[in-house]
Chain A
Amino acid sequence: MTAEAVPTQALAWFKEIDLHAVPRVGGKGASLGELRRAGITIPDGFVLTTDAFRLFMAPLRQQLQLEPRIAALQGKDNTTLNSECAQIRAALTRHQCPPELQKAISTAWQELSENGKHAVAVRSSATSEDGADASFAGLQDTYLWVQSEAAMLEAVKLCWASLYNAESVSYRLRLAVAEAQLAMAVVIQRMVNSYCSGVMFTRSPTTGDRSVITLEGSWGLGSAIVSGEVTPDKYVINKITREITRRDIGCKLMAHVPAPNGGVLEQEVEADRQQQPCLQDAQILALAEIAKQVERHYGKPQDIEWALDQDGNILLLQSRPETVWANKDTAPVAKPAAKPFDHIFKVMGGKR
């Protein structure tokens, strides 16, 4: 490995990756690359791959005697576990990036943020496909509206360090996951200053119906909905007829907006906008079309995060397979009968 080649592999732009890259860029990163390939508009960005993580960690492993130290935690009490983990995390966040990696990140960040003009989001991207793998339990770190290079680097280190929170470590110990194989990718993506944003499911979360799209939206950044702090507007759209079959306009008391010095701020919504729908019908239908496109691309129902920027452009921030209903074993509603009208006998005879 030459010093030049390493950072190139340590960093991948969305345009260079697709779903096959999951082991290297994590589920979140791969899914964004895949969306882009499918022709969906997403905010641009890059991923610090698992190679970047390993590059960053290599000197630390020696220095901290990481593997024996963690192995020694097996069977230890919570206090010991917590304090050891805190020390490891602190060491990680203090540790300087190797210069060639730092340079690569810095160059990419300058390009993405246009030298700091645009804020970015920094998110952990677990390398297990659906994020459900035990070794990543609870690791959904997201740092929004990061405005400087220094803050971005700090957020990246915090994402990496989160692998060593007590919960995660004790999980790994219990399941005997080898420390040497441990790795995490981090997504760095241009922030959208959302006019409104929200989530979409390409099937009904309440009934599992695959012929409808459920859409939720609220003012400002999507974190307000995802964290459940606001009652969003809710729409149900028929995939086939494009009818909007349900509209429940929520009372949207607050919104997440960018804070002046980075990060996100909770802001009260003016009284006259609280019960005003955040989307127009044309926008609802456009979102539904995109949801259908994504579902078609993946071949299975999706759970999508979307945003509408201040210019009215629709962008997707994330798409992942819907898991709740997908895991429910649904028996077929009916099977073919010997004669077509036998179905009538079954129903009329109270058999179904």
Chain B
Amino acid sequence: MKLNPFPKPTSIGPVAGAENWQSMYPYFTHVQPEDDQRFWFYNSMHFSEPMSAFDMITAETAYHAMGAYMTRVFAFPTAMGIDYRVINGRVYITANTVTDPAKIQERLELFQQRAGHYYENWDKFYGEWEQRMLGLIRDMNAIKVPELPEYEDEAVVMQQRGTAQNHLVRTSYHRTIELYSQMWHHHFEMLMLGYGAYVVFFQFCKQAFPEITDQSVARMVAGIDVLMFRPDDELKKLARLAVELQLGDIFTSDGNPAVILPAVKARGAAGAQWLKALETAREPWFNISIGDGFYHYERSWNDDLSVPLSALPHYIDLVKQGVSLDRPTERLKQEREHIINEYRSLLGSDDEKAAFDQMLGVCHMVFPYVENHKFYCEHWLTTSFFNKVREFGTLLNRFGVIDEQSDIFQLHYTEVEQVLANVMNSWAAGSPPANLQHWKTIVKERRAMLKVLAQWQAPPAIGPMPANIEDPALQMLWGITTETLHRWAMPPGADTGEIKGYAASAGVVEGIARVLRSINDFGEVQEGDILVCPVTHPSWSPLFSKLKAAVSDIGGTMSHMAIVAREYGMPAVVGTGEATKRIKNGQRIRVDGDRGVVTILDEAA
């Protein structure tokens, strides 16, 4: 079949009503003519929505840190960092590679020495890393955003501090940004080394067992005790306790804390006991984002208690029905051991078995970091960071430069600096901030543009198509292979009624599709539905107990949906690229988790 070329980056025009979109992002993220010579793909896995100006920081700082660790710190022999561009609010990325053999050799020597140091001390460094992250989170939460009151605090005089607090506005803001940037550096400090171990084991398995499925490899690698399961486990505990204390009747599916919590409190000792358990669970486990931690509006469970509370009634029902909510950890462990032993026994020689043990051993060593870092970084620290930025939003709003607190997220972080300077001077000068309307107009325009841009169908890839994608990390993390590229390039009309993705969890079922775009649509899900969504997040875990199967646009076999679906033993197909576009809510579909195919059975619905 003849494939359509991908559009050139410069050929993509603006969306009507959002012509001025580029004003939201720094000049160096804009597409230049020379970018047409390179292949880029839309990073819809991390940035599935258009970026508000402030949220661009989640891409910028992340790529600065990732690239630094690959290119400069560890000197990965063949891979450097990521270049990114923004088109109509979407983040496109391309990976830089090293091809010169002499350079690769030079980098390999550094890599062996530097990465070796980390691998050698992995568990110790991970322990220290966790402490460092906890410290960072404490520091972030401790940042004081100056109030800029009518008169300066007397202490400035009595203790001869020598600086007034408008000076500290800038200091605190810088500190907020710095700690966030520091988080991303910690995030990538060990992550790419962890992925390296995965990639090597995947590659070995593919060579030893050419037909092995990614999910079989993933099942050998995955550990059972993962922090990201804790929030959901805590919820289940709370559900059991609610039943035990006969409080089950209080919980409603709207999860409104303003109604529920006082009602619990009114139940005397039982209520108090449950509320105490809730408080224990909240710190730290409810510091989990409802998303993946890339957008300011993805709040934590702690920020919006209605999210965890709304999941309780279903769990309470299950407890009452006598259904065990415990994760079947023993079974999962046995299954994993079984798969490992069986594959191992099929290897041809003792040498291969020994190499297999070594590679898998390294995977198991790095697995806790690779999985658990998300809780500290993308969830806990990131939601704290956005909350700190909100405090600056409150300050700006008080001085009248923006209409509401959250408008601060419509400003790029470098623009916030300017507005803060205006406020700092206003406080000092004793006059209202200059040009009060300036940002209000811009914020209004940007909000309108984001609405329009959200409807834009971003092409999955742009620029010249590479002959093939050899990077196994791309496949594992983003679900992108040469085959994916070909599918993206398929001319329209080549529709077969089948949607292809990755077989993430085995089994074949048919059922009603429930297309969900955000956590706010959870209420629509009926028992036995098949979830169809862009991507799932750990905070969606409570949903899975209702589902029969799951389908996602984005994600590989180590993605959250894949892992959870395997635990629940339900078929799942991930990384389809287009399931939410092609499947309509309520349609009957068949999910084949053995082959990675979703079939729309009833086109009419």
A residues sitting closer than 8 Å to B (CB atoms) are 204, 207-212, 236, 238-241, 243-247, 330, 332-337, 339-341, 343-345, 347-350, 352
Counting residue pairs across A and B whose Cβ atoms lie within 8 Å, the total is 127
Q: State whether A204 touches B355 (Cβ < 8 A).
A: no
A350-B78 in contact (CB<8A): yes
CA A117 to CA B352, docked complex, whole Å: 54
Bound complex: CA of A240 vs CA of B105, how far in Å?
39
Q: In the bound complex, what is the Cα–Cα distance between A18 and B229 (angstroms)?
A: 55
Q: How many residues of B contact A (CB 8 A)?
A: 49
List 13 A-B residue pairs with CB atoms under 8 Å apart, sorted by A's residue number. A209-B210, A236-B211, A238-B213, A239-B342, A240-B339, A243-B506, A332-B355, A334-B204, A340-B361, A341-B116, A343-B358, A344-B193, A349-B104
Residue pair A343, B216 in contact (C-beta under 8 Å): no
CA distance A239 to B212 in the complex (A): 10
CB within 8 A of A210: which of B204, B346, B351? B346
Q: Pick the contact of B216 from A207, A210, A238, A244 — CB < 8 Å?
A: A238
Q: Interface majority SS on A: helix, strand, loop or mixed?
A: loop
Verify B338–A240 contact, CB threshold 8 A.
yes
Interchain CB contact under 8 A, A349 and B352:
no
Q: Chain B at the A interface: mostly helix, strand, loop or mixed?
A: helix
Contact of B213 among A210, A245, A247, A336 (CB under 8 A): A245
Taking a contact as CB atoms closer than 8 A, the residue among A212, A240, A336, A344 that contacts B362 in the complex is: A344
Task: Name the residue of chain A whose CB is nearest to the CB of B356.
Answer: A334
**Other-chain residue from B78, B208, B358, B594 in contact with A337 (beta carbon distance below 8 A):** B358
Minimum CB–CB distance for B497 against chain A, Å: 16
Task: Tell me if B12 counts as interface (CB < 8 A to partner A).
Answer: no
Q: Shortest Cβ distance from A7 into chain B, in angstroms? A: 46
Complex Cα distance, B114 from A344, in Å, reads: 13
**Interface positions of B (Cβ within 8 A of A):** 76-78, 104-105, 108, 111-112, 115-116, 119-120, 193, 196-197, 199-200, 203-204, 207-213, 216, 219, 338-339, 342-343, 346, 348-349, 351-352, 354-359, 361-362, 503, 506, 594-595
Nearest first, the 6 closest Cβ-Cβ pairs linking A and B are A336-B354, A207-B210, A334-B355, A340-B358, A341-B119, A349-B108
What residues on B are CB-neighbors of A208 within 8 Å?
210
With A240-B339, A343-B358 in contact, is A209–B213 under 8 Å at CB? no
Is there an interface contact between A334 and B211, defined as CB atoms closer than 8 Å?
no
**Given A341-B119, A347-B196, 10 more pairs with CB closer than 8 A:** A207-B211, A210-B346, A211-B209, A212-B211, A330-B348, A334-B351, A334-B356, A345-B112, A349-B78, A350-B104
Bound CA span A222–B21, Å: 67
B204/A241 in contact, CB under 8 A: no
Within 8 Å by CB of A340, from B77, B338, B352, B362, lies: B362
Q: Which residues on A sit within 8 Å (CB–CB) of B342?
A: 211, 239-240
Could you say which residues of chain B place their CB within 8 Å of the CB of A343? Answer: 200, 204, 355, 358-359, 362
Residues of chain A within 8 A (CB-CB) of B204 are 333-334, 343
Q: Which residues of the other chain, B, contact A332 by a CB distance below 8 angstroms?
A: 348-349, 351-352, 355
**A19 CB to closest chain B CB, in angstroms?**
23
Candidates A211, A244, A335, A336; contact of B211 at CB < 8 Å: A211
B594 touches A243 (CB 8 A): yes
Contacting pair B78 A348 (CB below 8 A) = yes
Please indicate the chain A residues that have their CB under 8 angstroms from the CB of B197 in the complex: 341, 344
